[in-house]
Structure 1
Amino acid sequence: MASLSTRVAVAASGAARRMGAMLDGLGANIEVAKYTEKLVPSTRFIAVDGIAPAVGGSNNFVAPSASVIGKVSIGDHSSVWYGATVRGDVNNVTIGTRTSVGDRAVVHVAKIQGDIPTSIGDNVTIGAGAIIHACTIESLCMIGESAQVMDGAAVGTNSIIAPGAIVTPGTKVPSGELWSGSPAKKERALTSQEIASIAESAHEQLELAYLHSVENSKDYKQLIAEEEDRLDREVRGKGQGAWFDPNIPDPDDVLGQGSPGRIFNSTLTHPEEGLKLRAEQREKNQ
């Protein structure tokens, strides 16, 4: 009976496989639109019409989820943060040195309403969610979170655009002023401390970009090693010193020969030297 049931099971499974293959072939034949599943390619750097972005070098940070597209030039020590888009598809975008484009910010150009590129100077901090569209931002400026600088506008050096402000098309923001509101208007002149804070903000973003650049450059082997080291040190800490760590000086060390009873805590290459030092120490104490 066992052999008969086995033959029946094998025959049934073979028939099921043949039926599945027949149905799969039938479905493929009656498909109207062929579908092929593809892996999503990286969108960090994308060429348009054969022109790829030009990024300063290894000292730049472009987040894995950011997109830099087409005719874009980015200077040294600049950063494009997570979810941000810099799109030079219908015109060119120029970004200077030590400038940061914040999370989810959009930098674009214009073609339909005038042939206007986008130019951003040095030491500029663009806040999260801001829109920079076909305009000029001179060096040492701060553009607040969710602010907008629109087509043909120009922001002078040492200026601040407040969060949420909208600089309308063609508006000229003079140097050294704070603009806010929708549409944005002059709020007041900046103080010397506020002007100094613009450069400080750019420097802070630069240091933060270096940190993220190092972390994002690590491969999976480095991440696993760091996690294992963290867990190991955590266990050592809970053990209250019961584990020996060669990187931490041992307070119980005796004349460079290690802690008594811990034979693995010392090389013991020249134990006689330790004995001499101990004898000398005793003579001094007497």
Structure 2
Amino acid sequence: MSSYGARIVIAASNAARRLGQGLDSLGKSMEVVKYADKLVPSTRFVAVDGVSPTVSPLAAFVAPNASVIGDVTLGPNTSVWYGATIRGDVHRVSIGENTSVGDRAVIHVAKIQGDFPSIIGKNVIIGPGAIVHAATLEDGCVIGPMAQVLDGSIVEKGAIVGPGSVVTPGTIVRSGEYWLGSPARMVRATTPEEMRVASEDSANTLALALMHAIECDKGLEQIHEDRAVYEDSIYRDPDYWQPNAKVSERESGDVLGMGSPGLIFDSALTNPVEGLKLRNKRQTAAEKK
């Protein structure tokens, strides 16, 4: 390319760059509400080799910053909490109904040192920071915070692995046993009180998961509306006119989103009874001072 042609290309490139920067500045100046999307919910579910996670439509909650990867099945009422990772990249992971995977917990599989999936039953509680690596957890068992259950191990129905314990590869934790330590050993039988608390924790976690799911699914418009309602509840005098529960525009008499006529400016002039109550209250407060 001649030097003349090179100068033309450089000049065109510079002009295009300046045009792009100008359009970007114009777009910024036209923004009404500046909003940065800090979480990308689409990265919660990632396919591996064309295999995508299968998530029940009745799943309770998968946190926006959790990762569910590859050949993973989540049953109804399951919850996967903040920062948790479930990797079905070299084998499969199956998680049953009403099971919770705590914050920052990791569930993985194995292919090199043994061909093991991770199979997790119903009503299982996996504590924060726990690791389940290519193991089987039967119905109703509890894995404590920061505990590890390693390759080929089986935790049978209703067993408990205590916090920080390490269940070594190939170990079987029998039903109704409480294991503790590193490496973990059976220390005693589980108590009816522990099983009752585990059942209550499972139900409470489900209720909490549904609440988090509702909050995390809100869009920007709903967040602003919630904030407006919250601020209104702080600053509005309880003796002042209170907005009714949300009803249809026709039922409420709302006009252009500004409220019902006569209630927009609810004062002694537009509503003498309410205005008199408010004045009396202020007089009483002043006398007390």
Q: Distance in 2 between matches of 1:40 and 1:84?
A: 15
Check the 8 A contact 2:179/2:188 in 1, yes or no: yes
Partner of 1:61: 61
Structure 1 40/126 Cα, relative in aligned 2: closer, same or farther at 3 Å? closer
Please tell me whether residue 184 in structure 1 is matched to residue 184 in structure 2: yes
Please tell me whether residue 171 in structure 1 is matched to residue 160 in structure 2: no
AA in 1 matched with 2:152: G
| Per-residue CA distance 1:231-259 (angstroms, 9 max, x = gap) | 1121114xx63x311449xxxxxxxxxx9
Match of 1:245 among 242, 245, 259: 242
Partner SS, residue 72 of structure 1: strand
Check the 8 A contact 1:176/1:195 in 2, yes or no: no
- The TM-score normalised by the length of structure 1 is 0.72
Partner of 1:220: 220
Q: Distance in 2 between matches of 1:145 and 1:265?
A: 61
Q: Distance in 2 between matches of 1:193 and 1:54?
A: 35
Q: Distance in 2 between matches of 1:40 and 1:81?
A: 14
Partner of 1:50: 50
Partner of 2:162: 162
CA shift, 1:40, in A, is 9.6
Check the 8 A contact 1:79/1:209 in 2, yes or no: yes
| Per-residue CA distance 1:200-253 (angstroms, 9 max, x = gap) | 22111111100100111111111100101111121114xx63x311449xxxxx
Q: Which has the larger radius of gyration?
A: 1
Check the 8 A contact 1:128/1:146 in 2, yes or no: yes
AA in 1 matched with 2:98: R
AA in 2 matched with 1:71: D
Structure 1 155/265 Cα, relative in aligned 2: closer, same or farther at 3 Å? farther
Check the 8 A contact 1:159/1:195 in 2, yes or no: no
Check the 8 A contact 1:78/1:98 in 2, yes or no: yes
Q: Distance in 2 between matches of 1:74 and 1:218?
A: 23
| Per-residue CA distance 1:99-145 (angstroms, 9 max, x = gap) | 00000000000000111000000000100000000000001011111
Partner SS, residue 111 of structure 1: coil
Structure 1 181/260 Cα, relative in aligned 2: closer, same or farther at 3 Å? closer
Partner SS, residue 198 of structure 1: helix
> More displaced, 190-199 or 141-150?
190-199
Q: Distance in 1 between matches of 2:241 and 2:94?
A: 55
CA shift, 1:60, in A, is 2.7
What count of residue pairs does the alignment treat as equivalent? 221
Partner of 1:91: 91
- Aligned residues: percent identity? 49
Q: Distance in 1 between matches of 2:268 and 2:81?
A: 54
Q: Distance in 1 between matches of 2:142 and 2:134?
A: 17
Name structure 1 gaps, 5 residues minimum.
1-17, 25-38, 249-258, 267-286
Structure 1 40/196 Cα, relative in aligned 2: closer, same or farther at 3 Å? closer
Give 4+ residue runs of structure 1 displaced > 3 Å after superposition.
39-42, 259-266
Partner SS, residue 88 of structure 1: strand
AA in 1 matched with 2:241: F
Structure 1 214/40 Cα, relative in aligned 2: closer, same or farther at 3 Å? closer
Partner of 1:122: 122
Q: Distance in 1 between matches of 2:43 and 2:95?
A: 19
| Per-residue CA distance 1:24-78 (angstroms, 9 max, x = gap) | 9xxxxxxxxxxxxxx9964200011111000011443110000000000110000
AA in 2 matched with 1:245: Q
**Paired residues for 1:188-203 under 5 Å:** 188-203=188-203
Structure 1 262/59 Cα, relative in aligned 2: closer, same or farther at 3 Å? farther
Q: Distance in 1 between matches of 2:236 and 2:169?
A: 62
Q: Root-mean-square deviation (CA), in Å? A: 2.6
Please tell me whether residue 132 in structure 1 is matched to residue 132 in structure 2: yes
Structure 1 233/116 Cα, relative in aligned 2: closer, same or farther at 3 Å? same
CA shift, 1:261, in A, is 5.6
